[in-house]
A = this chain, B = another copy of it.
């Protein structure tokens, strides 16, 4: 498609994001109001309920654009379909049919792309059409553009970031206001920072979907979401934040991708982060991605991940990429690498134990750890975590750097002991030595 003819765009789903896309397109049309404008032009809207709040103003003004029939999107006068319906049901059908009909597709549907990316990108390639989903990743943080244009892909060794605004908001509030998880969550829900069913966010699924998509866009590989080690934040408690604070650390839900000579490493985990680290300074519903390259100092991108207009803006940016396609694929010439087993990763582990207090517990735990060659770095049991009535106590042990697999073996033994009241809560801190290596 040349620059001379404007792209004809259909939007499927005129909810928050879809109406945002319509708004940005309309504004850009107004900005360049001459007849010869090459700005993308909105020609159709698929919406079953044109009287829904977001759709209604558009329906009132331009009813002729509206349709409730998928086939109207597949007609010849549409060049590109923007999917903003969400979910893995009808959206999947719609994208499949659009690609088959020779349309380009732009979407911000991360659940769908993370779970069905392999089949959908294969179809797009077979059809010679663009399937663009940068808007699905980190919302308004245009990290992919940066990756593509700035880094030679072989020079990028590590990407780490806070990819979910809801959990970062909750963690910030738990820390600064000394709130329990449930309290911070309800507060986030009241303020609109968390959904009524917050599972996708607080269990870390959302961040993991984004990591899957980023990994594909960087390496060309699709990892299955369930292969990436994941922990959410709903098991964390005020005691964890108090301990982290005394260790001069903050707790952040971090998504990581590392490339070593032979493998990829990836996880989404709540980590202990030193307070002077940039990641620790990012509070509230803000997202951050830090890139570590072979030849460059770390570069970080910071922005709000959420919101209608930012996501819409990212979709429009993708639309412009359809019009001005890049010469080169980013991941050309990068060989596929297996995902290293999580057992092999090294961390400094902090373990919070909740026990029925009796003499000899710490001694027992220490012995089990030593039996696996694991040393204790710090140990803390504070009087105010002791409940004399229930005979229960909380104490925290930080281990010296150890391999995950070893720690898990030791914990499996410890977990069996009769004094254990609840599963051990683990907080990890990355070990500096473990850095990615060039291709």
Q: A383 an interface residue at 8 Å Cβ cutoff?
A: no
Closest residue of B by beta carbon distance from A284: B276
The proximity string for A residues 24-56 relative to B, scoring 1 for CB distances below 8 Å and 0 otherwise, is: 100110011000000000000000000000000
Inter-chain CA distance A155–B145, complex, in Å, is 17
Q: A296-B313, A297-B140 are in contact. Are A150 and B145 (CB under 8 A)?
A: yes
A435 close to B (CB within 8 Å): no
A residues 67-99 in Cβ contact with B at 8 Å: none
**Interface size grouping (class) on chain A:** 35 or more
**0 or 1 for each of A415-439: is its CB under 8 Å from B? (1 = yes):** 0000000000000000000000011
How many angstroms between the C-alpha atoms of A149 and B300 in the bound complex?
Answer: 17
The residue on B at minimum CB distance from A155 is B313
B-chain residues with CB within 8 Å of residue A283 when the two chains form the complex: 276
Q: A residues 119-150 with Cβ under 8 Å of B?
A: 140-142, 145-146, 149-150
Q: Are B302 and A299 in contact (CB under 8 A)?
A: yes
**Is there contact, CB below 8 Å, between A309 and B295?**
yes
The count of identical subunits is 2
Chain B residue with minimal CB distance to A325?
B327
Count chain B CB atoms within 10 A of each CB in A27, A146, A152, A317 and give the residue with the most: A152
Please determine whether A302 and B300 come into contact, CB atoms closer than 8 angstroms. Answer: yes
Interface presence of A324 (CB below 8 A): yes
Question: Judging by beta carbons under 8 Å apart, are B327 and A140 in contact?
Answer: no
Residue of chain B at shortest CB distance from A24: B295
A297 touches B301 (CB 8 A): no
Contact of A150 with B142 in the complex, beta carbons under 8 Å: yes
Q: Are B301 and A300 in contact (CB-based, < 8 A)?
A: yes
Query: For residue A281, which residues in chain B have a CB less than 8 angstroms away from its CB?
Result: 281
Please report which residues of chain A, range 185-238, place their CB below 8 angstroms from some CB of chain B when the two chains form the complex: none
CA distance in complex: A304, B293 (Å)? 13
Question: Which A residues between 287 and 330 are near B, CB-CB below 8 angstroms?
Answer: 293-304, 307, 309-310, 312-313, 316-317, 320, 324, 326-328
Which residues of B are found within 8 Å of A154, using beta-carbon distances?
28, 31
Q: How far is the CB of A269 from chain B (nearest CB, A)?
A: 23
Q: Please give, as numbers and ranges, the residues of chain B lying within 8 Å of A309 by CB-CB distance.
A: 295-296
Cβ contact within 8 Å between A149 and B140: no
Closest to A300 in B: B302
Q: Which 5 A-B pairs have the closest CB atoms?
A: A297-B304, A300-B302, A299-B303, A142-B150, A145-B149
Interface residues of A (CB under 8 A from B): 3, 24, 27-28, 31-32, 140-142, 145-146, 149-150, 152, 154-155, 276, 278, 281, 283, 293-304, 307, 309-310, 312-313, 316-317, 320, 324, 326-328, 333, 438-439
* Apart from the given pairs A3-B327, A142-B146, A296-B310, 18 other A-B contacts in the complex at a CB distance below 8 Å: A27-B295, A28-B154, A31-B154, A140-B299, A141-B299, A146-B146, A149-B149, A149-B317, A152-B320, A278-B302, A296-B309, A296-B313, A297-B304, A297-B310, A301-B301, A302-B302, A324-B326, A324-B328
